[in-house]
Structures are given as structure tokens and as C-alpha cells.
Amino acid sequence: MTQYVSRLGSRLAAPSRPSRLKFAGSRKPRRIAMLSVHTSPLHQPGTGDAGGMNVYIVELAKRLAAINIEVEIFTRATTGGLDPLVELAPGVLVRHVDAGPYEGLAKEELPAQLCAFTHGVMQAWAGHRPGYYDLVHSHYWLSGHVGWLAAERWGVPLVHAMHTMAKVKNASLAEGDTPEPAARVIGETQIVRAADRLIANTDEEADELVRHYEADPGKVAVVHPGVNLDRFRPSDGRAAARARLGLPPDAFIPLFAGRIQPLKAPDILLRAAAVLLEQDPSLRSRMIVPIVGGPSGSGLAKPEGLQKLAARLGIADVVRFHPPVGQDRLADWFRAASVLVMPSYSESFGLVAIEAQAAGTPVVAAAVGGLPVAVRDGQTGFLVPGHDPAAYAHALRRFLDHPHLVDSMGAAAAHHARSFGWDTAASATADVYTAAMHEYRRHVRSHHG
């Protein structure tokens, strides 16, 4: 396979960055195949391997369909009896591919099922006329491998989005977390070389692709993910959201929402809460710390770890654990919170931070990955360098000492988040597709001319 890649590596001349003017006359795709091997767009985000990427794929696909680009999303069937084809929205189909046992497969075991998955994708394609798909857009490295083979077979360009990168994750591991395997690093390196375009969430991610994976800078396009501004908005405010969730109107509520695993570092929030209570025991009667999400990744090994930590820290009475919730309910949790806390060790973008801000809630986040783009330090929240719980406690203390910050920063946060609509993201993504197709056709013509 490595030889195959090295042959492919030189396939494309380095294209220039996509520009609207240059490709104004080019045709945008009519129909694309989107690949999401390890997580279905129909799954509940916040549990298992479902998270921001699921939301990203669903929202992007719907908005692409709205601008007349049909999307077919291929994903692995994880339960029996699923319809092979499900309409997610007008112009968006989800195809369930049988590859390996339905349940009980960890993400780490999925590389062994990629051949079966590729076979399923090829079977679906075989039923169509030639040229049915104009382009392949793969998400995460597992899908990238299938996408690379599909794009080669179909004679169309491959656009790939990493979402997260093994080398970046391994460079900033949480204590006790498991490093990403070498096979993933090799796989990602191959995909970076084979893809016609790489979509990065932020300028920093684009730089990381070049620095860690030697990506051709001309192939990398930066498109910020969006947020569903109809769902995540201040709506009827904090008090009403708290009433719906049965939370006290005047409590200080620092919220964690996301998958419970060392990478996301919910333990930092618990330790910071313990520091705050030590500094001011009277807080005990007016602070609630909700943890909304389910165990995932290496967190599955110790699903009760956080509950045990809360008990050890002596704060079990102020911490409330809630299973993952649907998007509308999640929006209410964001509205109800005084502040969202995101102490992640690595975050390619941090969609949750934008969603919370869109709902009118400030954010205290780690200064890692895309979070400095998502959060405006000192305006819509605070960025914390490092992972010292005392530093997080200090940031939270500012909201306690100056309660007006919750509302003033919350208003600034909602305003900031409005620039991250999905329509903008879909339009920019369509430009990347058009540029990739233009470049691909030009390359094919030059070779057959």
C-alpha cells in the first residue's frame, strides 16, 4: 500500500489556493459521496464516538443540499435491521454499509473492517451510471482510506477533513491517556499525500498539517465549522432555561458538556470546583456543576471515574451527572449555565464552545487547537494556558466576583458566534469542491492532451 501511495503522491501538481474569481466559470459538483466510517450522522452526539464531527457532517450536508449539491453519506451499520438508505433531509441520503459485527467494535478495531466497508461503497456505486458522484469528501482518517480508493476508482477528486490528528493528540496527551497508534500516523500521512484538497478548521490546523504531515500548503483550505444559529440562540434567556431544567435561578453553574474521556478533561472542572469551595465554603449552597455527556474512548475503561473523583474531592453534593441529550435540550443547558468550561488537551475546533456562545453563554477554555479562534479571550470568555485546576478556579472566580460578566460576556459571545453560521461554511466548502474539480480536470487533460 505504501508503494501505491508514493506513486499517487506525485499525481497532482501543487494547485494554488482556491479563489472565487479564478473558478467563477467552473462547475460546482451536483452530487458528492461523503464518508463517515466510524460514526453515523444519525447517532446522538456526546456518547461513544459521536461528537462534534457528527454535528459537522449533518449540518454541512443539509446546507450543501440547500445550495443544490446532493450529498450521500456512507457510514458503517452499527445495528441490525437498519434501512440501507435513510433520507436525513431533502437532498441528503445516509447509506448504511455492512462491515464487521454491528455492535461491540471499538474505533481502534475498525481499520480491519475498511476492506469490507470499501466493498460496500463500491457495490452502491456499481448500481449507478458512470460519473454519478462528482467528488468524494471523507471525514477522519479511517474514511480517508476508503475515500482515497473510491476517488481513484471513480476518477474524481478527493477532499479530506482530518477533524483530529494523531501527531497533534500525542503531543499533548492527558495524564494516563492512551497514545494514538503508529498505524494511524502512517494512515494519515498517506491520506495527506493522496488528497486533492485538505479542509482545515483553523489556520493553526492548516499549519499543523504542513508541519507534522508535510502537506502541500497549496492543497490546504481553511473553512471554519458553523453553528446552527436557529437552534443555539439566547432565546428566552437564562432564567427560563433554568426553570425548564429544574435548576435554581440564582446558582453559579459552570457546565461541562461533551464526551467523558481524558482528552476532554472534565476532571479539571471538578478539581477547580473543589478549589473554589475550599476558598469559599459558602459557595456550597449556591453552586451546581453539571456534567452532561457519556463515557467515550479511553474513558470507557473507567466509566465511573468522574463520580469517584467527585466523592474523593468531597464535592459529590454539588456535581450532577446527566446522560447525553438531544440538540434542543443541549441548547437549554448552554442557556442555563453561567459559563461553559472546556479544559480539553486537544481540540481541532471546539464546536461546543461556539454553540454555548451562540446561546449567550461565556466560555472558559484551554488555550489549545482551535479554541483561541472559537473564544475571544477577555471578550467572550477566558482562555487558560495549561491544565492547572487552580488556574481554572481563578478564571471562574472572576465570574463570581463580577456577576455582571456572565451577562455582558454572554451578549458579546452571542454576537461573536453569529459569524459562524453553517451557510457560510457550506458556501466556502462548495468553493473548495469547485477548485478541486477544476484542478483535477485540468490535470487529467494535461496528461491525456
List residues forming the annotated binding site for UDP-N-acetyl-alpha-D-glucosamine.
Answer: 44-45, 52, 259, 264, 325, 347, 355
Query: On the CB side of 182, how many CA atoms lie within 13 Å of its CA?
Result: 0
Q: How many CB atoms within 10 Å of residue 8? A: 16
Find where cell 454553540 sits. Answer: 355
The pairing of strands 135-139 and 363-366 is unpaired
SS3 387: coil
User: Where is the binding site for 1D-myo-inositol 3-phosphate, in residues?
Assistant: 38, 49-54, 107, 140, 164, 184
User: Where is the binding site for Mg(2+), in residues?
Assistant: 334-335, 337, 361
User: Where is the binding site, in residues?
Assistant: 38, 44-45, 49-54, 107, 140, 164, 184, 259, 264, 325, 334-335, 337, 347, 355, 361
Q: What is the C-alpha separation between 328 and 305, in angstroms, rounded?
A: 28
SS3 386: coil
Find where cell 458522484 sits. Answer: 133
- Measured in whole angstroms, the distance separating CA 103 from the mean position of its chain's CA atoms is 23
Q: What is the C-alpha separation between 298 and 88, in angstroms, rounded?
A: 30
Q: What is the C-alpha separation between 400 and 276, in angstroms, rounded?
A: 10
Ramachandran angles phi, psi of 64, nearest 5°: -65, -40
Q: What is the C-alpha separation between 437 and 449, in angstroms, rounded?
A: 17
| Nearest by Cα to 360 from 384, 336, 342 | 336
Task: Spell out the alpha helix ranges (H) of 219-369.
Answer: 237-245, 266-279, 305-313, 327-336, 351-358
Task: Spell out the alpha helix ranges (H) of 262-347.
Answer: 266-279, 305-313, 327-336
The pairing of strands 158-161 and 135-139 is parallel
